[in-house]
Structure 1
Amino acid sequence: MLFARFHQVTKGLMKTYLGDVYSVNWIEDSDARHSLTGETLQQQFKRVLVETNTSHVKEFGDKSIGRISLSQFQGSKTYNKTYDGKVVITDAVASGDVPIAIAYKRLNTHQTEEQKFVNQFKYEELLRARNFLINSVKHLIRELEVKFVSVDSIWSDKKELTNHDCYTDLIHQFDNHCFDLSTHPFALRFLYVFVNICETLENRNLGNVHIIENWISR
């Protein structure tokens, strides 16, 4: 899960968040260096990783570039400036909560009665959609309780994913028939439920994943 911070305000209304905690920590770390020639990309990554405790930062791609000097990516000029120290992050918002956080902040800005009505409607609409999503996932789990397993184990466990085919099929069905994951970031918070379902089905040999797919597509 990513946490966003720093937001853009245009004409008194909050528009979007401009970065996540890791990227802001990374920029601030570079700003604190008098010179970027004496440190590698990997060394900086490890230091910023320690400072980022709101998301699970991972490396990917060609890791061999980690041996290259930072100056190859950010320039070799030296800076004669005073760094005031690390900014304490107090406004970070979980990525899945960004749309509702923006809508809420807009309610507390100076606006016309018409703007207030529109923004109130949008905020309440997001709340309704969120509640509908939560109830839909819980309903799916209750269906499983009758047939297979307990609600508590599916809702609270954090199993390791090994049954990738099952998981991919379920996510595809959920994305097509329930919530478009690309436009409902809050839904990503519940993907672990599908991991638990697939691992339970696999471990207990309780039947075919198509049983669950059929329920989702109804």
Structure 2
Amino acid sequence: MTLLFRIAPLAALVISVASLAIPEIEGELYALLVAGSDGWWNYRHQADVSHAYHTLINHGVKPDNIIVMMKDDIANHERNPYKGKIFNDPSLTDVYEGVVIDYKDKSVTPSNFLAILQGNETAVKGGNGRVIHSTVNDRIFVYFSDHGGVGTISFPYERLTAKQLNSVLLDMHRKDKFGHLVFYLETCESGSMFHNILKKNINVYAVTAANPDESSYATYCFEDPRLPCLGDEFSVTWMDDSDETDITLETLNEQFDHVRDLVEESHVQRYGNATMSKFPVSWFHGSGKVKKVPKVMNKNRRRSGKWPSRDVELMYLERMKHFGLATAEADDRISEIHKERQRIEAVFENLVDSLVKDQTERSRILEERGGVEDLDCHDDVVTSLDSVCPDISKHDYVLKFMNVLNNLCTKFNDSAKIIKAMRATCSRRRS
């Protein structure tokens, strides 16, 4: 009896501590889903976002609480053999049907994205004007899929930098715009948007497809020779987990572990408030249970046809050529891609040559990848690229070289000097 008497208070204490560690759910759940790319070869980003929309809806998230941004140029693209449909996996289940898109075409911009997050109706331009009106009692889930580079992510016409994003997240916390915010990011070098930048005390938990110095990967590539890659490895993995697992019983930490173990080509990372990993996934993906969902996801599943994100168009065309399916037009495009890449590589090599005299240091600046240290300089030079070097800035491949601008900022801490050298280098290329 004495033993039982001593154990009972201890058990009560454990239960009490657990209940304190995970507060009761309250408020509303809002979601912002963004496909930041355009063009046929980026098909998978809109497929990812369309799938994510249905994942949240199926788990009971209110449609009025979800805002979707995507160019909407894929479903009815002239090259799409399945008009009006988009697929995210080889089952060819249409994920486009039923998706309500709030911001399309030229309204898919960084400024609109940040205004929507902050609930600033007067700042949005285009679209239907919807924003997130959240309070300190509410939760926000943000999912973004597109291309990126060191310290930057892309929209169809502009880029968003790590400084801009993290400044807004910090400001939202200070103004009690959310209780907790979860951000899932699918881009190359996605970890660099948060690594040593995202504050750990502002109730933001971020999961990225890749670490600060590596590519993320497309998947389900060449499943149908008429279609480009259908999804992204990290994205389809977290969505399959939420679709196939009872997420009311799964924590964010458990989902992270499952996804990290299944994603083979990149290193899934997490940043921010680690204590939030104890929260149920359902708090951010919806608390409604999907019918006939197995309690545990198939952890043995592996994705097929995985290609580096920046190489999808080139690898597709080369695969067509390998199987004797390429046209003369495809051969011309392969040649054009290689010329575009050589031109971009030459610009950055010449830029570094103009600023750095030591050959060993030149090589380091061209090759080294990592997180952003000088946020102000990085923001200045990356946002100046479009106006200073418009001939190359429109290409996704240019994002591979954001590490060069980042390294120059770390070395010189002088954005004006770097931008001046960029202008001179790009002007010589055009003359």
Query: TM-score, with normalisation over the residues of structure 2?
Result: 0.41
Counterpart position of 2:382 = 171
Residues 81 and 196 of structure 1, relative CA distance in 2, 3 Å threshold: closer
* Counterpart among 231, 241, 244 of residue 29 in structure 1: 241
Counterpart position of 1:208 = 417
The answer (yes or no) to whether the contact 1:25–1:52 under 8 Å persists in 2 is yes
Long gaps (5+) in structure 2: 1-187, 189-215
Report the alpha carbon displacement of residue 104 of structure 1 after superposing the two structures with TM: 1.7
Residues 110 and 156 of structure 1, relative CA distance in 2, 3 Å threshold: closer
Query: TM-score, with normalisation over the residues of structure 1?
Result: 0.74
**1:193 and 2:404 are equivalent in the alignment:** yes
Report the alpha carbon displacement of residue 180 of structure 1 after superposing the two structures with TM: 5.3
Residues 142 and 99 of structure 1, relative CA distance in 2, 3 Å threshold: same
Partner-residue secondary structure (3-state), 1:4: strand
Residues 127 and 29 of structure 1, relative CA distance in 2, 3 Å threshold: same
Partners of 1:27 and 1:130 lie apart in 2 by 33
Counterpart position of 2:348 = 137
Report the alpha carbon displacement of residue 18 of structure 1 after superposing the two structures with TM: 1.6
Q: In the TM superposition, what are the counterparts of 1:1-12 in structure 2 within 5 Å?
A: 1=188, 2-7=216-221, 12=225
Report the alpha carbon displacement of residue 174 of structure 1 after superposing the two structures with TM: 2.5
Residues 82 and 147 of structure 1, relative CA distance in 2, 3 Å threshold: closer
Residue identity in the other structure for 1:23: S
Residue identity in the other structure for 1:47: H
* Two-structure CA RMSD over aligned residues (Å): 3.7
**1:106 and 2:317 are equivalent in the alignment:** no
Residues 117 and 163 of structure 1, relative CA distance in 2, 3 Å threshold: same
Report the alpha carbon displacement of residue 23 of structure 1 after superposing the two structures with TM: 1.7
* Counterpart among 69, 72, 85 of residue 286 in structure 2: 72
Counterpart position of 2:228 = 16
| Most deviating of 70-79 and 22-31 | 70-79
Residue identity in the other structure for 1:198: C
* Counterpart among 87, 90, 94 of residue 308 in structure 2: 94
Counterpart position of 2:339 = 128
Partners of 1:175 and 1:164 lie apart in 2 by 18
Long gaps (5+) in structure 1: none
The answer (yes or no) to whether the contact 2:244–2:297 under 8 Å persists in 1 is yes
| Most deviating of 50-59 and 192-201 | 50-59
Q: In the TM superposition, what are the counterparts of 1:22-61 in structure 2 within 5 Å?
A: 22-30=234-242, 33=245, 35-53=246-264, 54-58=266-270
The answer (yes or no) to whether the contact 2:222–2:229 under 8 Å persists in 1 is yes
Residue identity in the other structure for 2:318: Y
Partners of 1:103 and 1:48 lie apart in 2 by 30
Report the alpha carbon displacement of residue 101 of structure 1 after superposing the two structures with TM: 1.5
| Most deviating of 137-146 and 38-47 | 38-47
Report the alpha carbon displacement of residue 198 of structure 1 after superposing the two structures with TM: 0.9
Q: Choose between structure 1 and 2: higher helix proportion.
A: 1
Report the alpha carbon displacement of residue 60 of structure 1 after superposing the two structures with TM: 7.7
Residues 105 and 69 of structure 1, relative CA distance in 2, 3 Å threshold: same
The answer (yes or no) to whether the contact 2:344–2:392 under 8 Å persists in 1 is no
Report the alpha carbon displacement of residue 149 of structure 1 after superposing the two structures with TM: 8.2
Counterpart position of 1:162 = 373
Partner-residue secondary structure (3-state), 2:228: strand
Partners of 2:360 and 2:324 lie apart in 1 by 51
Counterpart position of 2:176 = none
Residue identity in the other structure for 1:105: R
Residues 174 and 69 of structure 1, relative CA distance in 2, 3 Å threshold: closer
Which structure's relative contact order is higher, taking Cα pairs within 8 Å and 6+ residues apart?
1
Residue identity in the other structure for 2:228: T
* Counterpart among 137, 147, 152 of residue 363 in structure 2: 152
Residue identity in the other structure for 1:214: R
The answer (yes or no) to whether the contact 2:233–2:306 under 8 Å persists in 1 is yes
Report the alpha carbon displacement of residue 121 of structure 1 after superposing the two structures with TM: 0.6
The answer (yes or no) to whether the contact 1:166–1:209 under 8 Å persists in 2 is no
Identity %: 18
